[in-house]
Amino acid sequence: MTTVTMPPFLRKLMLVCHVISSVSSLGAVACFLVLALVALGSEDLGTALSPYVAMQSVARLVTVPLVFASLLTGLVQALGTAWGLFRHYWVLAKFLLTVLTAVVLLLQLEIIDYVASAAIEGALAEADLLSLRLSLVVHAAGGIITLITTTVLSIFKPRGLTRHDWRKQQGQLGKLL
């Protein structure tokens, strides 16, 4: 069983970058959620303008880069260390949850842009926008739950090899006997 391992300094540097980008993306999504809740709960539609414009900037300039940095550094960590991407369930689950987060975020950008444009044009009172505004809250809350889950998996590292790695180990054990 050969694995590519990074030199200790590079491994630690990538880990630091991964932790910073992962935890920061959680903070960025939390800020987005607060802005979405403030805007949704605002009785004055003029007051709701600023949070929606800010949400657009936070999503595009902060959250997207951080989520993709987390995804990339996590992939480098998985492929460059003994943990591997397909060896342990918790690593694979973290990777898949982060990919899901990135995909949902990218799909939400169009809605974020639409709602921000509507806020600028003073059209937030339209009925169809209420469901979109609520969707922003729901998706941000879901994002927080997902990112908290990946953080918990990182810390607790539940036991269990994937079926792929278990078979691989069984084959190597058979060769030794």
- What are the pLDDT digits (tens) for 140-152? 999 999 999 999 9
Give the pLDDT score at 5.
85
Chain position carrying tokens 């990339």 = 72
Chain position carrying tokens 């810390």 = 155
Say whether pTM exceeds 0.85.
Answer: yes
Q: Quick one: what percent of the chain has pLDDT higher than 70?
A: 89
Would you list the DSSP string of the chain? Answer: -------HHHHHHHHHHHHHHHHHHHHHHHHHHHHHHHHHH-SSHHHHHHHHHHHHHIIIIIIHHHHHHHHHHHHHHHHHSTT-SSSBHHHHHHHHHHHHHHHHHHHHHHHHHHHHHHHHHT-TTSHHHHHHHHHHHHHHHHHHHHHHHHHHHHHH----B-HHHHHHHHHHHHHH-
Give the pLDDT score at 154.
93
Give the pLDDT score at 119.
92
The amino acid present at 3, given as its one-letter code, is T
Average pLDDT over residues 4-12: 91
- What are the pLDDT digits (tens) for 62-82? 999 999 999 999 999 999 998
Which sequence spans correspond to the domains of the chain?
Answer: 8-176
Give the pLDDT score at 75.
96
